[in-house]
Amino acid sequence: MDTREKLLAAAARLFHEKGFTATSVAEILERADVNSGSLYHFFSGKEELLRGVLERYHALLPDELIAPAEATTEDGVERVFALLALYRKGMEITGCRYGCPIGNLALETTDAYPNIRPLVEANFVQWIGHVERWLAAEGARFPRGTDFHRLAQLVLTTMEGGLMQTRARRSLAPFDESVAALRHYLDLLMGKKGKGNAPSRTTHRRPSAPRRNSRSARGR
């Protein structure tokens, strides 16, 4: 790992664990095992490190989250829930701590650092773009004119709002219940399509087979 990447990885980890403001440059140097001369060779200071961290998240999203979700299933709707399950796994492993690194930085830094805000936005836009593409690929299962961008935005809203409550309550329940409600909404939407289309299956055994088995909508 080169020095620049060591610094970015250490900064990303610390910003995620402690927040941007609470992290000192000295801690980043210690975590990265790099001296300050090397840091200032690459970065003018902590704000430029934050820039680099957000660009790094943007670059890593396809390999670290999108590809694993896509590897789970061919079904675009189920890919959405596979992505959400990756965030859940993260919360499970950490005892409901830390949450979404981009979401945290969104709330902590976007007002104070105007140059940082577009980088947070770019991360959200990319995330929504993948989800929208997955949902649109299943377009035939949704009512005509369904707004997949809006749906994809709701998926991100559900992930971020759910993770926030899961952190605050130290329980996976708020995230799980929010995701279950989102699934119920998508099931109702797909159920409205009519023509015998049943709500999406939760099993992935025959992802490309016609979906005929009805599953009673959840939460009733």
Q: Which residues bind a copy of itself (CB under 8 A)?
A: 17-19, 21-22, 97-99, 103-104, 106-108, 110-112, 117, 120-121, 124, 143-147, 149-151, 153-154, 156-162, 164-165, 167-170, 174, 177-178, 180-182, 184-185, 188-189, 192, 217, 219-220
Closest CA to 79 of 155, 144, 11: 155
DSSP state of 147: -
Q: Go through the chain and tell me how many residues it has.
A: 220
Buried (b) or exposed (e) across 73-102, using 16+ Cβ within 10 A?
bebbbbbbbbbbbebbebbeeeebebbbbb
Nearer to a copy of itself, 34 or 50 (CB): 50
Nearer to a copy of itself, 45 or 143 (CB): 143
Q: How far is CA 162 from the centre of its chain?
A: 11
Nearer to a copy of itself, 20 or 73 (CB): 20
At 189, list the tokens: 């939407």
Rounded to the nearest whole angstrom, what is the least distance from the CB of residue 155 to a copy of itself in the complex?
9
Rounded to the nearest whole angstrom, what is the least distance from the CB of residue 139 to a copy of itself in the complex?
13
Nearer to a copy of itself, 71 or 107 (CB): 107
Closest CA to 47 of 13, 11, 74: 11
Rounded to the nearest whole angstrom, what is the least distance from the CB of residue 18 to a copy of itself in the complex?
7
